[in-house]
């Protein structure tokens, strides 16, 4: 069964980098597209990035375009989110989700446990 967990968050300063990881103890990521979402205090959840089933297609929110990159390692069954040049507005709980269509554009059927990213100015 699906058990998604995000890790790698922490407290950093403006301009720092973090690498988040999403792991799944159930379904293999090779069968799904995977997306990263985030939710800041008092705000709705926001799409961050996604990667298609094969890893060939990637999608990014405009707010993080050219700063974040998503990748997947099927051998490790892990999806990564490399976050560079972090800004205070990136502060949020980050979590991953699965897209069973395999395209990376939703709908997202399974949601995981998040990891907190806090960026101080």
Residue with tokens 């103890």: 25
Q: Can you tell me the mean pLDDT for 69-88?
A: 97
Residue 43, classed as helix, strand or coil, is: coil
pLDDT higher than 90, residue 114: yes
How much is the average pLDDT of 24-30? Answer: 89
DSSP string, 64-109: TTTTEEEEEETTTTEEEEEE-S--GGG-EEEEEEEETTSSSSS---
Q: What is the mean pLDDT of residues 49-60?
A: 97
- Mean of pLDDT values over 31-51: 96
Model pLDDT for residues 82-99, shown as the tens digit of each residue: 999 999 999 999 999 999
Q: Is the pLDDT of residue 26 over 90?
A: no
Mean pLDDT over 56-78 rounds to: 96
The pLDDT score that the predictor gives to residue 1 is 78
pLDDT of residue 2: 82
């Amino acid at each position: 069964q699906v058990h998604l967990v995000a890790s790698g968050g922490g407290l950093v300063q403006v301009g720092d980098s973090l690498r988040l990881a999403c792991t799944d103890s159930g379904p293999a990521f090779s069968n799904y597209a995977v997306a990263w979402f985030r939710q800041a205090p008092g705000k709705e959840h926001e799409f961050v990035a996604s990667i298609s089933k094969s890893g060939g297609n990637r999608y990014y929110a405009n707010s993080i375009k050219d700063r974040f990159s998503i990748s997947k390692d099927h051998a490790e069954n892990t999806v990564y989110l490399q976050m560079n040049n972090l800004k205070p507005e990136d502060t949020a709980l980050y979590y991953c989700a699965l897209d069973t269509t395999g395209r990376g554009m939703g709908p997202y059927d399974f949601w995981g446990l998040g990891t907190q990213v806090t960026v101080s100015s």
